[in-house]
Structure 1
C-alpha cells in the first residue's frame, strides 16, 4: 500500500519550489542529463529531475564528503523516512517522496543505490569485471530501471535494455575518471585486468601515469560500454513515443564521453575528457532524427536479449508494483560495518574534545 505523505502543518511546503531546487541541482551538477532531459515530456521530465537530484545529492555526499560512513547512514535514514511517507524537510527528499507515491516505485531500486554507495564508503575494490558490473548495476542501472518506472514501463525487455544503458553510462564514467579516482585513492578497474597487464596497484595509486597498459585497460572498458550502448538502443522502441528522443539523447551524450576519452588516446589519467555544449546540442538533434528513422526499422533481435546477470534482480524488482520490503542481509552487513566505523569516528572526536592536545 502506498504511504500518504505527512508534512508537519507548520512547515510551508511548495511542490513547485521543490522542483525548482531539483532543476537547479541537476543543471549545475549533471549537465549531460540536464541537456538530455530537455527532450522528455514534462510529465516525465520533472519526476526524472527529482529522481536524479535525490540520487546525485546522495552520491556527492558519499563521494566528496569527509565522513562517508555518516553520509551513507544518513541516506539509509532518509530512504526509511521517504518510504514511511514522512520525508526529511528538504527539497530533494520531498520531491523524491512525491514520485515514490505517484509512481509506486519499488523500494528495491533506490535500495540498490544505497548498497552501491555503501560499497564506496567502505572502499570496496573489485577483482573482476563482473564485480565492476555489480557495482555499476547498483549506482547506475538502478537509476535506469527507476526511469522506466517513471515512464510507467514495466516490460521486462525494456527494463533489461534500460539497465544496459545504465551500465554503459557508468563504465563511461569510470573510464573518464581513472586518473581522478586514482589520485583520490580509488580504483574501479578490475584488479585481475591490472594483474594481467603487470600493473602494480599500489604503485599506480601512489603515482598514476598513462602508461600504454593503463590506456589499454581504459580502451577495454570502453569497448564493453560500446557493446552495452548497442544493446540498449533496442529498448528505446518500447518506451512511450514522446520519451524516446530524450532517452536516445542521453545515450548519445554519455556515449560521447567515451568518444572524447578515445580521442585523447585513452589517456584519462593526465587529462579528463570533456564534451562541449555544441556537441551536446548536436546529439539532441541527432536523437530527434534517429527516433524518426527507428520508427521505420524492424525491431532488432537484441531487444529480447536476457538481462546481464548483474542486473537481473533490478529487472525483477521493477517489473512489480511496490510491495512488502525487507532490507537484504548483504545491505545490513555493509551498513553494520559503516555503523561501527561511524561510532569509532564519533568516539575519537569526543576523546579529542575531552583531551585536547597541547
Structure 2
C-alpha cells in the first residue's frame, strides 16, 4: 500500500458524506482537502463502529487502542490508521481532541440525559466542537482566540443538527433537547419520546436552541476572518450552508417531526454565489472569552515552542494536481444510529 492508495480509501468514505460538506470542500486548498479527508475517514469509521457494532463499549476500547498505536507511531495495518498517523505527525494534532470526540460517542452509548442548554453544549463540544478545533489545527491555526471561535462553529452546527433531527432522534429513543427547557415550555420529555408531535410549546424550545446557534455562528464569522486566506471560502461555505438548515427549520414552521429540513439546490447555489462577500468585520468578537464547555478543548492545545512552529503537510496524491475530495467541519453522526445504514445527507 502507498500513501496515495491509503488516501483513496479516505476519499471513498468521503463520497458517502454530507452533501453540504462536499460542496464546501471545493473551496478549500488541496493540502487541506487531503488532511481533512483523512481526519474525516477516522471519525466516520469510529462512528460506524460505535453506532452499528454489536458491542459499542468494546468498540470504544478498540478505538482508544488504535489511537494509542497511532500516537506511538505504529498504526494498525489499515489505510485510515496509516493516514491519520501521518496527519498527527505533520500537524502535531493533539491527542486530547480525538479523545474528546470519543468521549462524546461514549455519552451516546450511555444514553445520557441533557437537562440544560449548557449540558447540550457540553455534548456538542465533544462531538462537534472537537471537529472545528481539529480543522483549525489542520489549517495551521495556533492562537487560542481563533481556536475558540472554531469550537463555537462546531457547537453551532451541532445545535442546528439537533433542531433538524428532533423527530428522527425521538423515534429512535434519543432526546438531545434540554429537558428543563421542554418542561418550562409545557412539553413532557417522556411523553414526547413516546409520541413525538410538533406543537407551539416545542417551537419555543427549538427557537431557543436556534437562537443560541445563531449567536455562535456570529462569533464564528470573525474567527473565519482570522483563518489563512485560502481556507476562508470553504469554511464560510460550510457555515452558511449549515446555518441555512436552521433557517429551513424556521421556514417549515419549526416542524422537524413530520418533515426534514433540506436546503434546496437553488438556495445552495445562491449561498455559494454570496461567498464573494465575506462576513463583516467584528473584531470585538475575538475578545469574547472561550465558552466554558469548550475550554477543555483549548487547554488540550500545547504551549510548547515546537508545536507553535509552522508545519508542512505531505502530499498524499499520485500527481500534484489531483483533486481530493474532503470532509469539512463535522459529520452528521446520529443518522447512522437512527437509520442503520448510510443516508443521503444535506
User: TM class, shorter-chain normalised?
Assistant: 0.7 to 0.9
Query: Is 1:19 the counterpart of 2:7 in the alignment?
Result: yes
Residue of structure 1 aligned with 2:294, choices 308, 311, 315: 311
Output the CA distance in 1 between the equivalents of 2:291 and 2:161: 19
Question: 1:85 aligns to what?
Answer: 73
Give the 3-state SS of the residue equivalent to 1:29 in structure 2: coil
The structure-2 alpha-carbon separation of the partners of 1:139 and 1:298, relative to structure 1 and needing over 3 Å to count, comes to closer
Q: Relative contact order: is structure 1 or structure 2 higher (C-alpha 8 Å, sep ≥ 6)?
A: 2
Query: Is 1:215 the counterpart of 2:203 in the alignment?
Result: yes
Q: Which runs of 5+ in 2 are unaligned?
A: 308-346
Query: Is 1:242 the counterpart of 2:230 in the alignment?
Result: yes
Output the CA distance in 1 between the equivalents of 2:51 and 2:170: 13
Question: 1:52 aligns to what?
Answer: 40
TM-score, structure 1 normalization: 0.81
Question: 1:355 aligns to what?
Answer: none
Question: 1:4 aligns to what?
Answer: none
1:299 Cα deviation (Å)? Answer: 4.4
Q: Which moved more, 1:303-312 or 1:90-99?
A: 90-99
The structure-2 alpha-carbon separation of the partners of 1:138 and 1:66, relative to structure 1 and needing over 3 Å to count, comes to same
Question: 2:144 aligns to what?
Answer: 156
Output the CA distance in 1 between the equivalents of 2:81 and 2:43: 10
Higher helix share: 1
Question: 1:280 aligns to what?
Answer: 268
The one-character-per-residue Cα deviations of 1:105-144 (angstroms, maximum 9, x if unpaired) are 1111111101111111111111111111111001101111
The structure-2 alpha-carbon separation of the partners of 1:231 and 1:266, relative to structure 1 and needing over 3 Å to count, comes to same
Runs of 4+ in 1 over 6 A off after TM superposition: none
Question: 2:338 aligns to what?
Answer: none
Residue of structure 1 aligned with 2:112, choices 124, 139, 147: 124
Q: Which moved more, 1:263-272 or 1:27-36?
A: 27-36
Give the 3-state SS of the residue equivalent to 1:318 in structure 2: coil
1:156 Cα deviation (Å)? Answer: 1.1
Output the CA distance in 1 between the equivalents of 2:41 and 2:202: 33
1:58-77 equivalences under 5 Å are 58-77=46-65
Output the CA distance in 2 between the equivalents of 1:237 and 1:255: 17
Give the 3-state SS of the residue equivalent to 2:192 in structure 1: helix
1:92 Cα deviation (Å)? Answer: 2.1
2:125–2:293 contact (8 Å) kept in structure 1: yes
TM-score, structure 2 normalization: 0.84
Q: Which moved more, 1:137-146 or 1:309-318?
A: 309-318
Residue of structure 2 aligned with 1:290, choices 271, 277, 294: 277
1:79 Cα deviation (Å)? Answer: 1.4
Give the 3-state SS of the residue equivalent to 2:114 in structure 1: coil
Output the CA distance in 2 between the equivalents of 1:301 and 1:70: 45
Output the CA distance in 2 between the equivalents of 1:298 and 1:189: 33
Give the 3-state SS of the residue equivalent to 1:175 in structure 2: helix
Q: Which runs of 5+ in 1 are unaligned?
A: 1-12, 324-358
2:114–2:176 contact (8 Å) kept in structure 1: yes
Output the CA distance in 1 between the equivalents of 2:148 and 2:68: 27
